[in-house]
Every structure is written in structure tokens, then in C-alpha cells.
Amino acid sequence: MTTLQQAQPTQFSRILAIGAERGELVVTNDDIAGPIDSSDEWIRQRTGIITRRRAADGTDVLDLAEAAANKALDAAGLAGADIDAVIISTITHMHMTPSAAAILADRIGATPAAAYDVSAACAGYAYGIGQADALVRAGLARHVLVIGAEKLSEIIDPTDRSISFLLGDGAGAAIVGPSDTPGIGPTVWGSDGSKATAIRQTHSWTELREDPSLGWPTLRQDGPTVFKWASFQMAPIAEKAMAEAGVTAEDIKVFIPHQANMRIIDQMKKQLGLPDTVVIARDIAETGNTSAASIPLAAERLLSDGQAKSGDLALQIGFGAGLVYAAQVVVLP
């Protein structure tokens, strides 16, 4: 009798490299304040944003993803052919099918890598890292490319005061592969669909088809609901991620939360009781909120600026529309 064979597992995985690509255009608060009847001072005080990066008209989300992917491959010393699976988290790939991941795999020479998209908004990158960790350790892939990529400027209403002025464009890519030591802690993730309308699209594509006068769908949010949820309910998720990784706040060197709002970041630091020595990602000040791209973009900036270094233990957490969340402790590449 033939014995069924299964994939041979690998004990540990880690992030091998990170790459980043921001939108070409620097958009200041003064550039967008007029249509929302606001000011540079109000936007800075409410969000901590000084500028946001947005892509030019000729650049789409796949262009951003490809640039970030190639930078990560170069940093890892790998070629596209070394990638066994591609995971892209995005809500701004404007085609229902084929997936952005399949197209990107072809662009970077990763065919016939497995490829699929994740729709988990601002938690999508952390979702992808959790899945890549599982794929590598299960023996289903040796190297997995995880990308958070967004061109949120495609789905904003310039007159909207609830979320549009926060948003930017960019892509961050990470390569996850085997490791001799633990490099990615257990992923703590979940969702609360009862709050699905807290961050939402104005109307569906079906409604637009039936009534073209509705115009292009754009994003909206219930700011107070999202602020309260992110500021106070996400800290326990981050604490659970540390506990499941077997570390404490004293062990963490770097904190990389989703770059949603500077006040949320400060409140989470306080809730977590992180030491003052912990480096905290504040990429939102210059890049804006880039949804699924924000964590890898922030991580890349910290590493490039020398604020964080390879081997540092980092706590990362993504949270947003769905409402969905995911957190894990990782060793920085």
C-alpha cells in the first residue's frame, strides 16, 4: 500500500528583507485644506500629518507594488524565480479578477508561484505575514513575498472631512523565509463585522450601475467610533501577541502600529505601558495613512533612518475596515 506523503515542515521562519515605494507626489495640508474648510494647524493637531505621499496619475497600485517587491528582492539577494508564493493585501486594485498578486508574480519573474490577494484593509499586511509564516513553517513554500499596496487617492472625495485628507499612496514588501531561530511570533487576529459601517464605501458598484448619478464610490468613516475602537480595544490584542510570543513590553525594542492617526499611536503606547526607550514608528507624519502599506513602509523608514536595526524585536499591529485586526512580534531583518 502506498503511503501518502505530506509537505515537510520547517521549524522557524523570519522576515528576510523589506522594500518600500511611496507615491511620487508630496501633498501638504495646505494643498488639501480648502475643499474640507480646514487648515494645516487643524490637520496637524487632529492627526499628526504634515504631508502625505500620493502617486501620479500614470502610476497604479501594481506599479507601486512592483517597485517595493524589487527592492525587497534586492535586499534579500533573491530573484523573482526564488519566490514560491505572492500575497498582496490591497483594497485599491481596480479589477475584481485577475488578482493583483498573479499579475505581479509575472512582472517580477516569480511564475509559477502561488499568488492571491487579501482584502483586510489596514490589517492586511499583518494578515499576510501571519499566512507567510504558516506557509513557510508548513513546508508549502520556502520564500513568500508579502506586499501591502494601496493607491487610496483613487477612492477619495476631496471634500470629505471624515477620512480622505488622511490618505496616501504607497507599497511595502517583505520576504518571509526559513530561519535557524524563531523570527515571527504567533499571529493574533480577528474581526468584528458588527462595526462594518464604521469605515465604509459610500455605495456599491451595483448601486452605481443602477444609478450612475451616484458617482464614483469613495471612502467614509465614523471617526469617533474608529478612534475609540483603535485606541482602547487594540492594546489588549497587542498584549496578547506579546504574551503568545513569550515576551513582555520590556523586551520590545520597536513598536510599529498601523499609521492611522498620531493620537491613536500615542494612546496605544500609553495603554501598552511601553518603556520610553522603545522606538515608535511615526511615518504617518510624512507619508499619511496608506492602509495595508503603512506597517512595512514605517518599518522600512525606521531601518533606513537607523532608528531600528536588524535583529530588533518589533511589535506590529494592523487594524481597520471590517473591522479587522492582526498583531505579531517579529525580528526585524
Catalytic-role residue among 29, 143, 258, 261: 258
First to last CA, the chain: 46
Distance CA 34, CA 165 (A): 11
Catalytic-role residue among 93, 122, 143, 261: 122
Catalytic-role residue among 29, 93, 143, 289: 289
DSSP per residue, 41-93:
HHHHHHH--SEEEE--TT--HHHHHHHHHHHHHHHHT--GGG-SEEEEE-S--
143 is catalytic: no
CB atoms within 10 A of CB 74: 12
The strand pairing partners of 17, in sequence order, are 175
Closest CA to 184 of 109, 95, 247: 247
Phi, psi for 136 (deg, rounded to 5): -65, -45
Burial class (CB in 10 A: 0-12, 13-18, 19+), 283: buried
93 is catalytic: no
Q: Are 157 and 218 in contact (CB under 8 A)?
A: yes
- State how beta strands 114-118 and 85-89 pair: parallel
Sequence-separated (6 or more) residues with CB below 8 Å from residue 224:
none
Asked if the peptide bond before residue 112 counts as cis, ω within 30 degrees of 0, the response is: yes
258 is catalytic: yes
Phi, psi for 280 (deg, rounded to 5): -115, 130
Active site residues: 122, 258, 289
